[in-house]
Chain A
């Protein structure tokens, strides 16, 4: 109990934030976090020291994906983890009359949150973990259970996808 409190309780906000972004609603996020925490509590002996936040977030993330598979299977389209797509292609900046930074200035808070929500879960979670939770590549690799190279390429693709979705957004286009 004491050990569990020390390990898991400080990261409850991070856990809830991840679950809230992946389930996209408060109620389901609460259920998923509760279930994940009870599992973590049961398997606390499996925690062998190290990064407590990464450990608990790994469990929360697995619960989130189980929930997604059950409730939002259509969201879980596979994304290929090679960096073919993210390779530097001539970015459309040059063709856009607006420089990118000018365009970005028009991006308000709620639109940004909508755009992130619209990303596929594998892209969404990596943006959340890096940009909001400010985790290192190493921690993200641990939570996603993939090599660091995959974290880097997936993050690059997620960012590219997010930025493209803004360029295509009606507000950005009308300006």
Chain B
């Protein structure tokens, strides 16, 4: 083998791309050629030095969040009201026209201008859900062990979310996360069904007596809302509604059994 051919194989060898025949041929050459043998060592050292010292830049969180928002915007049908710039303009326009009406007629109340509080909550929950997926920040405490996840929330929140692993029923617990909803920290429990993540947001129940579960869909995600005791729950997932309902029944049944 010529030295020039050996040099070519040395590159492939370092990159783990040399087949057995090439390996054998190279070994035979290196046994005879001190110069090429030295070259191999040098190349290995360069390879290691680059791996050790070259910078690997990671995507900044701001970029991840910008992308999440941009993608959410891009995939939203144009007719749905949104928090995009166009949506904001529309809200401003409505607000302005209503303000005018209020000025003209003092009997009109201003609150009609505000988007329904529930709508805003739903928008926010879906955004939180999307962000948790896009920003690769599904969990703060990643554990399938309910006895790890539950105590993690102690001292971080003024409510104690029920945490049950539902792996046996096909909904393994992935972990927990602190999230923000309506400017307050809330618990987000993360489950998975096949490859579909489910975020369960746990909020204080301010809606009075237990309500039957409600479902809706928003931006391609399904949401289920139910309450038990002084807690209110929102499950958000790309799972189909039937499966999400199965999950909700299991979750709620376990909670009822616990206390």
Contacts and interface: CB of A to CB of B under 8 A. Distances in A.
Interface of A: 1-2, 4-6, 9-10, 12-13, 15-17, 20-21, 26, 29-30, 33-34, 37-38, 41-42, 83, 86-88, 91, 93, 100-101, 104, 107-109, 112-113, 116, 127-128, 130-132, 136-137, 152, 155-156, 159, 162-163
A28 to B, nearest CB: 12
Contacts of A91: 39
B58 A104 contact: no
A33 B63 contact: yes
A159 B11 contact: yes
Interface string B211-228: 000000001100000000
Interface residues of B, number: 46
A32 to B, nearest CB: 11
A26 B58 CA distance: 10
A37 B57 contact: no
A131 B39 contact: no
Interface in B49-63: 49-51, 53-60, 62-63
A142 B50 CA distance: 23
B160 interface: no
A119 B12 CA distance: 21
22 contacts: A1-B238, A2-B220, A5-B133, A9-B134, A10-B136, A12-B136, A26-B57, A37-B70, A38-B74, A41-B74, A42-B74, A88-B3, A100-B45, A107-B49, A108-B53, A116-B50, A130-B15, A131-B51, A132-B50, A137-B12, A137-B17, A152-B8
Contacts of A132: 50-51, 54, 56
Interface string B140-154: 000000000000000
B169 interface: no
Main secondary structure of the interface of A (DSSP, over half): helix
Main secondary structure of the interface of B (DSSP, over half): helix
A38 B224 CA distance: 30
A113 B195 contact: no
Contact of A159 (B46, B71, B75, B238): B46
Contact of A112 (B3, B47, B53, B136): B53
A101 B41 contact: yes
B67 interface: yes
Contacts of B17: 136-137
Contacts of B64: 12
Given A41-B75, A131-B51, 4 more contacts: A17-B56, A21-B57, A155-B11, A156-B11
Contact of B58 (A2, A13, A87, A163): A13
A12 B59 contact: yes
Contacts of A29: 57
Contacts of B50: 112, 116, 127, 131-132
B124 interface: no
Contact of A5 (B54, B62, B134): B134
